[in-house]
């Protein structure tokens, strides 16, 4: 079962950087890029169908909507940054029609040291968001430097049609989950045969379409409950795309283990 990190898909300029040790992260995907760097020791990392054990000093870039997972033991440490394509617009544009033959690479010594000094060493605790313009410029400079090394060292080939179709489906869902959508309606909008679209989705995602849409709606509703306590639960439910309060309560409990009322009361 794959986990869709909706928070890293529907929020705008996502940026977070977290050090991980003694951690297993189950297979997941999101709209944002993810950069992984091995600070010390090793990490078992799977990106798409490629699985490797990375050692100290190695990098990996996870493109948007790519399934990935990792396991790092307690003697090892990795730096993981998740960031929206808005931080690397030129890089994102350059790679949108191609796919790398590998996600794993090494940087030149100068870029490596620049990245460690400006991104790894200053990170004393998890960072969510960017505090100021100085921070923004430093982070963009480091991300672009590493992305340039990736482009220099990794051969890229044209994307398969199936891969492109799946991204179109996920992009459409991320923009329209508040509406009453289905694979049938998406097939009509995108101009694809429904059976073809369904086959690609089911073969790749391993979850049904409704489950995916409900995860988007749940995450949006959860953020609304936390950030807009003046809104009623029914207002948030329908705004999020749920068709009834009953289905909203049921799905919310299934995903989070709590009720919308309990979430809204969290300070």
Quick: pLDDT tens for 10-64. Answer: 555 889 999 999 999 888 888 899 999 999 999 999 998 899 999 999 999 999 8
The pLDDT of 76-98, averaged and rounded, is 94
User: What residues contact residue 180 under an 8 Å CB cut-off, 6+ apart?
Assistant: 241, 243
The pLDDT assigned to 1 comes to 43
Any idea which residue has 């996870």 for tokens? 62
Pairing of strands 59-62, 104-105: antiparallel
* CA angle (30 as vertex; 101, 186 as ends), nearest 5: 95
Percentage of the chain beyond pLDDT 70 is 93
Q: What is the pLDDT of residues 204-236, one digit of tens each?
A: 777 789 988 998 898 889 888 888 888 899 999
Q: What is the pLDDT of residues 146-188, one digit of tens each?
A: 999 999 999 999 877 777 788 889 889 988 999 999 999 999 9
Show the domains of the chain with their CATH numbers: 3-158 (2.60.120.280), 161-264 (1.10.10.60)
């Amino acid at each position: 079962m794959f986990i869709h990190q909706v928070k890293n898909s529907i929020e705008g300029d996502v940026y977070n950087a977290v050090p991980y040790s003694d951690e297993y992260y189950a297979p997941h995907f999101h709209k944002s890029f993810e950069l992984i760097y091995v600070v010390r020791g090793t990490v078992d990392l799977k990106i798409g169908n490629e699985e490797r054990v990375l050692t100290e000093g190695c990098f990996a870039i996870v493109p948007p909507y790519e399934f990935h997972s990792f396991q790092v033991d307690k003697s090892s440490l990795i730096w993981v940054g998740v960031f929206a394509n808005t931080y690397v617009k030129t890089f994102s544009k350059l790679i949108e029609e191609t796919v790398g033959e590998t996600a794993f690479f090494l940087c030149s010594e100068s870029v490596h040291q620049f990245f460690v000094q400006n991104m790894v060493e200053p990170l004393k605790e998890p960072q969510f968001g960017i505090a100021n313009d100085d921070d923004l410029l430093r982070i963009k400079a480091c991300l672009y430097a590493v992305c340039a090394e990736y482009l220099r060292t990794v051969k890229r080939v044209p994307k398969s049609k199936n891969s492109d179709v799946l991204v179109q489906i996920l992009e459409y869902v991320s923009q329209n989950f508040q509406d009453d959508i289905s694979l049938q309606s998406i097939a009509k909008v995108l101009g694809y045969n429904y059976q073809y679209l369904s086959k690609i989705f089911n073969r790749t995602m391993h979850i049904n379409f409704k489950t995916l849409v409900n995860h988007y709606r749940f995450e949006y509703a959860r953020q609304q409950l936390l950030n807009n306590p003046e809104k009623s639960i029914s207002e948030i439910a329908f705004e999020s795309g749920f068709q009834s309060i009953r289905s909203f309560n049921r799905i919310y409990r299934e995903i989070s283990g709590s009720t919308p009322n309990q979430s809204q009361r969290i300070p």
